Amino acid sequence: MSTENELFSAVDALLEQVAQDDLPAPAERKRLREAAGLSQAQIAKALDARREAVGNWETGKTEPRPPKRAAYARLLEGLAARFPAPAADEPAAPVPASAPVIPEAFTGPAPAPDPAAEPPAPPAPVAAVRPAPAVKPASSSRRPGAKKAAPKTTAPVAVDLRFENGPLAVIDVDADGQVSAYCVGGLVLDVPAKSIPALVDWTLEEARLGQPRLHRYGRDADPILILTGSALQRYGLPDTLSDEERSAGRLKDGHKVIKQIEKAGLQMTQRGLGPWARLYREPVGSHRRCVQLCIPAWNALDAREWDNQSRPLLPAMHPADLARYLGLYAQRVTTPRGTTSTTGLELMTALRPPTRAEKNPATGEFERAFNEGALTRVYPVVDCEVPDEHPALEGKFSRAHQRTPAEMLMEEPYDWCRPLTDDECMQPYLVAIDINMSFAAATNGLTVGLNGPTHLTDRPAFDPKLPGSWLVDLSHVDLSRVEIGGRTVDGDRLPSPFTQWGTRPEGPAWYSTPTVAYAAELGFDVAPLEAYVRTETGRYFDPWYKRLREAYIETMADLGVTTDLTDQEFLDAMARRKQTDPVLALLETAIKATAKGGIGKLRQRSGGKVPYYQPYPALQRETWRPDIRAAVLATQRVGVHRKLMKTAAAADLYPTSIGTDAIVYPSPGPSPLDFLPRTPDGKPIPGGFRLGVSPGMVKHQGTQSVLWAEQLFEERGGVVNVSNLIKTDPHAGEGE
């Protein structure tokens, strides 16, 4: 009679026999290994095989043979029992790019995809993978019990296998000298490269890093490698740049790493090897081959935009957390391209590419065509719309001349304050509320000009449908007593909607279309003297706003601040969000900085890098459009005024100061709930300020006593704009 061990041995033999013909699909093999936290090298060692062989089994390039096949099947079966597949539909097949990629080095039109062409070859084997080491609790992507915004669709997301390891990787070297690439999702790749050129080639050929295009006529994002301090040492780069190199923004040309790059046949941009460097090889057809390096030690991630400036986190951040931070930013916004401002502008172009390749039916050749709804050309500028140093103003004003509103378009956000009345001084508190992503919210649905200016003379009739700049005299507009909804508003306690300082205009001045339209909305006659308008219009910002809004809402949901909270729940969640997950708190700040900075880049100034009246590179961009920036800022400012009027009419409540998007009200209590008016059924008044997480809604910025403000006024010898001095959160209210 057989013993129990003999019976089990016989069963095992049968299982091994079955395993010769039954293995999970290659993708499932990889999923099971990663779910168990095993590396390809560990499996290879256990099966007495090469690591490359395990990688080939997981891509389907080869299949294991006996006796390794049976042992491999036994391992996968055991892993499948412990890590069953999630109950979901099979993932969709990768969606091939619907348009060709036009590499930066290629100036002509790219060929269109051929429907009859052969499908692309299978991707090369991926590099060795190791599980991420344990990191501090801050790296958890969700806090227990946090609500998350529901996805808009339950359909599976297609995975582009070219970029299956994510948009970027953090390159780090451990104490044993092992070079690792920390990717999104806790994935860690073994890096065999021993030099910067080898690292670039490994990235292009094996790493599977990058991000698919955001628009069918755009281009895929280049993979980014973030080099830590240990990686700099490993690859022969200095820990810091010298003063001369910092001034030039690049490593000296004679450095040994520069020589390695040149010897390897890699190319660099004119910026050289700096904090954000691009290294590339010649494109293959329409396939761009470029890798971007990000070097935080050289101030690539400026603390004013990417970090907590008062308590910097990036210098000591674990590589896995840094990969998570920047990887989530790339996935939700776009791949970082430098500063958040630059990235915000690049996002506009990525979502609205200016050109595409179009086949000429007469010649059969592909030619460059312009995309509808995009900014496609550099047009002549208008003197009143450009900053003081612009070449167009040379010889027209002296350097000491301060242009007046009649000579310059001065659309800016509010910087206004007034003295407190006696009744307001009797209130115990000043409470500051802050508008979420106010500039981004102002772009929502905004119609802007897409073509060049048309000069209208001889007192043209105002047309609110024509974006542009209008020379109008609004000094006659008297808002001291205005009726809103049957109630009279004391306009003397509100700022004028027509100037940054809230003062009444003194004569003709240049205004953007939204400002003039608001004057007409209030019931006043507007009679322009002249105008520069754009006749081709469109809602250029719609996809940009939608992507930033979704990124912000998703990130706030991860921090426990969702769109379905009551007002008090929202205030409580906002107060504790910074302690929920420091990495996601940085992501929130970066998203807001991207929205603000992207708008600012539309009128980028020279920054003193070139002499007055000399051209500078930003002027050559299709997206250098100061008129569009003015329209956004005008929309933001008049939008604030519209809410001020509604609030004053509903509750006889007036602000004491405004700084960009931070508004201070006297209050009987320390919370916004103590003064924000409500309808009889307890809802926010229509058209007024509303607490919530969405862009355009408001949050609590901070509270101070009225006595504190009076003491500050006395110390500084007059009324002071305290809007951005009243902060519970030191990073709130910075012009989001």
Are 72 and 168 part of one and the same domain?
no
Q: Which of 299, 328, 357 is the last residue of a domain?
A: 328
Domain holding 74, by residue range, is: 15-82
Measured distance CA(339)–CA(327) in Å, rounded: 15
SS3 of residue 302 by DSSP:
coil
Residue 505 lies in a domain: no
Are 167 and 314 part of one and the same domain?
yes
Are 195 and 322 part of one and the same domain?
yes
Residue 485: predicted pLDDT: 76
**Structural contact between residues 417 and 503, judged by C-beta atoms closer than 8 angstroms:** no
**Structural contact between residues 174 and 188, judged by C-beta atoms closer than 8 angstroms:** no
Rama region for 667: left / alpha / beta (φ>0; ψ in -120 to 50; rest): beta
Prediction pTM value:
0.79
Are 176 and 39 part of one and the same domain?
no
Residue 319 lies in a domain: yes
> How do strand 508-512 and strand 448-449 relate by DSSP bridges?
unpaired
Residue 687 lies in a domain: no
Amino acid at 684: P
Token pair in block for residue 346: 């690049």
Packing angle between helix 582-600 and helix 626-651, nearest 10 degrees? 110
CB-count exposure of residue 558 (10 Å: 0-12, 13-18, 19+): buried
- The number of beta carbons lying within 10 Å of the beta carbon of residue 134 is 9
**Which has the closest alpha carbon to 366: 283, 450, 285?**
285
Measured distance CA(514)–CA(144) in Å, rounded: 45
Q: Which of 309, 328, 347 is the last residue of a domain?
A: 328
DSSP state string for 94-131:
PPPPSS----TT--SPPPPPPTTSPPPPPPPPPPPEEE
Residue 250 lies in a domain: yes
Residue 420 lies in a domain: no
Question: Across-strand partners of 490?
Answer: 481
Are 217 and 71 part of one and the same domain?
no
10-residue mean pLDDT series, the chain (736 residues): 52 50 82 84 83 81 78 84 65 37 36 38 49 43 34 51 93 93 94 96 95 92 96 95 91 93 93 94 86 96 90 92 96 95 96 91 88 95 96 91 95 95 94 97 97 96 97 94 83 95 96 97 94 97 97 96 95 91 94 96 92 94 97 98 95 95 96 95 93 97 94 89 81 47
Residue 45: predicted pLDDT: 82
Residue 363 lies in a domain: no
Q: Which of 328, 343, 377 is the last residue of a domain?
A: 328
CA distances from 567 to 436, 579, 683, 697 (A): 15, 20, 10, 12
Residue 227 lies in a domain: yes
Are 66 and 140 part of one and the same domain?
no
Measured distance CA(225)–CA(244) in Å, rounded: 25
Are 215 and 323 part of one and the same domain?
yes
The values of phi and psi at residue 314, to 5°, are -60, -40
Are 135 and 72 part of one and the same domain?
no
Residue 3: predicted pLDDT: 52
Domains in the chain: how many in total? 2
Residue 195: predicted pLDDT: 95
**Which has the closest alpha carbon to 589: 623, 555, 562?**
555
Residue 636 lies in a domain: no
> How do strand 429-435 and strand 448-449 relate by DSSP bridges?
unpaired
Are 170 and 270 part of one and the same domain?
yes
Residue 10: predicted pLDDT: 53
CA distances from 10 to 343, 348, 408, 551 (A): 63, 65, 91, 56
